Amino acid sequence: MAAAGVGERAANIPVIVEIVIKRAYVEPAPSDGFRVLVDRVWPRGKTKDDLALDLWARDLAPSSTLRGWFNHDPVRWQGFCERYRRELAAPEQYARLTEILKAARGHKRLTLVFGAKDEEHNQAVVLRNALEDLVPKRG
């Protein structure tokens, strides 16, 4: 994810031990650390208490146009990843990504919560990769 001044700002991004994804329909656990819902729409049938969220990052979710085009079709997965990464490369999205990392500071784990049934082909997978690209590497 290339954004102007990324190298200069990387020093301000905290190191997080692990970034994981978890379905909204799986029970939250203390080991989840900092929990962020990364869907534009609230997961059906779930309450705020059910999800035990620290943050709802709806603005980081794919655009409605991209979500509609993808329609969770695995055949379109590669195209979805490329298009979503382009959306995430916008300066305002870079700022949102870094804010999540800063908000999760002090936690050993950042859990991205999503509602999709497909655990391999969803926006949380792409977001996890984008966030991992931003986290300074140890050593």
Extents of the domains making up the chain: 11-134
Please choose, from the candidates 53, 131, 137, the residue with its C-alpha nearest in 3D space to the C-alpha of residue 96. 131
From first to last of its 139 residues, the chain has per-residue pLDDT tens of 444 344 444 556 666 679 999 999 999 999 999 999 999 999 999 999 999 999 999 999 999 999 999 999 999 999 999 999 999 999 999 999 999 999 998 898 999 999 999 999 999 999 999 999 988 776 5
pTM, to two decimals = 0.87
| Enclosing H/E stretch for 125 | helix 123-134
